[in-house]
Amino acid sequence: MATDTTPSFHRNSPEPPHQPQWLTPTEREVWLGMARLLATLPAALDAQLTRDAGLTFYEYTVLAMLSEQPDRTLRMSTLAEVTNASQSRLSNVVKRLEVRGLVQRRADPADGRCTQAVLCEAGWNTVVSAAPQHVAAVRELVIDAMDLEQLRQISAIHQRILARLDPRATTYPVYPGN
Amino acid sequence: MATDTTPSFHRNSPEPPHQPQWLTPTEREVWLGMARLLATLPAALDAQLTRDAGLTFYEYTVLAMLSEQPDRTLRMSTLAEVTNASQSRLSNVVKRLEVRGLVQRRADPADGRCTQAVLCEAGWNTVVSAAPQHVAAVRELVIDAMDLEQLRQISAIHQRILARLDPRATTYPVYPGN
DNA sequence: TAAGATTGAACAGTCAATCTTT
DNA sequence: AAAGATTGACTGTTCAATCTTA
């Protein structure tokens, strides 16, 4: 705050009303921590994957999701959902992955409106060789920061927040086969 | 997984070694939840702020951080730190905010290398009017998803992860006056 | 020589518009 | 008319290079 006549953002007022406009110190700490995480964790993952595998985190996610399918194939719209992206973003990314020979697109025989993305052999090899280092990074940065109890706690919290972000979504986890 | 001769990414192997290469089901759930949060929460905040105030989440953060300073002033390098951004990104954003008349830049009298960013009156009014709705959104989406115990738990977890992301950082919270 | 800051070029993401198939 | 997918235009971010002052 700049003067004492004006409220301090993200802090609680001296006399907290029922639905306080600002955040209490604890709430503020949670929010600043989350905001910082939102900004720095994706950058760290991108850095690791770019350095070690020439992939962005999002590109890796696309390849990984395809690699988990029995036929290494997924419709573009489904792939967009499971990778938490817009159809437009996915379309652009897959176009580049196709140029690099990691993925191929083909028309869906069952529905002419749909396009299937298929992981190529080169794409498979790319994920297979990138995965160990990436998983190790995820462990080091995130997973190993928690004990089993905390893993359960944060999972429950995630689900509650995600439900608020998209109330129409079925209960998380979204991904088939989890 | 595509065949039974190959590992499934982000899942645990049948016989987990000491430092397992893949993630257990619980770990995988945590990670997928966090990845989903990383992708969707910033988008939701951008949408709210763009709609209600014509600001991105990052622009709002810049204005909010300045508004909390007694003189509504911060060095560019400090502002970059507290907003979790690169100097380059901040420089571009402040340039646009300056064009819009929300922020002004001036040379730091104490050190000719530094630039100070100062919140203009219009910028102050913008944050003041944007803040209530934004804080309400943060509450609805994030804070109110947790009880007090969970707020404390996630705060502790955040700090542990952030410490791994930037081991050189002093113990979080970073921001002066918290 | 280093820190702070900015810039230009390359790149990625978003939004609205479009096209095709159902 | 609606769903799936893509594209073009615009905007924002990143990276390396640059400039200034300490």
The pLDDT tens digits of the residues spanning B31-76 come to 999 999 999 999 999 999 999 999 999 999 999 999 999 999 999 9
Name the residues contacting strand D (CB < 7 Å): A 43, 47, 50, 75-78, 80, 87-88, 90-92, 94-95, 105, 108, 113-116; B 56, 58, 85-86, 88-89, 92-93, 96, 111-113
Quick one: pLDDT at residue A167? 83
Confidence of residue A158 (pLDDT cuts 50, 70, 90): very high
Q: Read out DSSP for B118-131?
A: EE-HHHHHHHHHHH
Strand D positions closer than 7 A to protein CB: 2-8, 12-17, 20-22
Confidence of residue B10 (pLDDT cuts 50, 70, 90): very low
Query: Is there a contact between B143 and A31 if contact means CB atoms under 8 Å apart?
Result: yes
Work out the burial of residue A71: count CB atoms within 10 Å of its CB; fewer than 13 is exposed, 13-18 middle, 19 or more buried.
exposed
Mean pLDDT along residues A62-90: 98
Using DSSP, state whether A83 is helix, strand or coil.
Answer: coil
pLDDT > 50? residue B177: no
CB atoms inside a 10 Å sphere around CB B85: 20
What's the pLDDT tens digit per position in A1-17?
Answer: 343 333 344 444 443 44
What's the pLDDT tens digit per position in B107-132?
Answer: 999 999 999 999 999 999 999 999 99
Rg (CA), chain A: 21
Cβ A5 vs Cβ B117: under 8 Å: no
| H or E stretch at A106 | strand A103-107
Confidence of residue A171 (pLDDT cuts 50, 70, 90): low
Strand C positions closer than 7 A to protein CB: 2-8, 12-17, 20-22
B99–chain A nearest CA distance, Å:
23
Cβ B165 vs Cβ A44: under 8 Å: yes
Quick one: pLDDT at residue B19? 53
Cα(B114)–Cα(B38) distance, integer angstroms = 33
Residue with tokens 């992981």: A119
B124–chain A nearest CA distance, Å:
10
Mean pLDDT along residues A129-142: 98
Cβ B104 vs Cβ B12: under 8 Å: no
Which among B33, B135, B150 is the nearest to A22, CB-wise?
Answer: B135
Cβ A75 vs Cβ A109: under 8 Å: no
- Cβ contacts (< 8 Å) between A155 and chain B: which residues? 26, 29-30, 33
Quick one: pLDDT at residue B128? 97
Q: Read out DSSP for B92-140?
A: HHHHHHHHTTSEEEEE-TT-TT-EEEEE-HHHHHHHHHHHHHHHHHHHH
Residues 88-127 of B with CB under 8 A from A: 124, 127
Residue B72 region, left (φ>0) first, then alpha (ψ -120 to 50), else beta? left
Mean pLDDT along residues A58-82: 98
Percent of chain B's residues with pLDDT above 90: 81
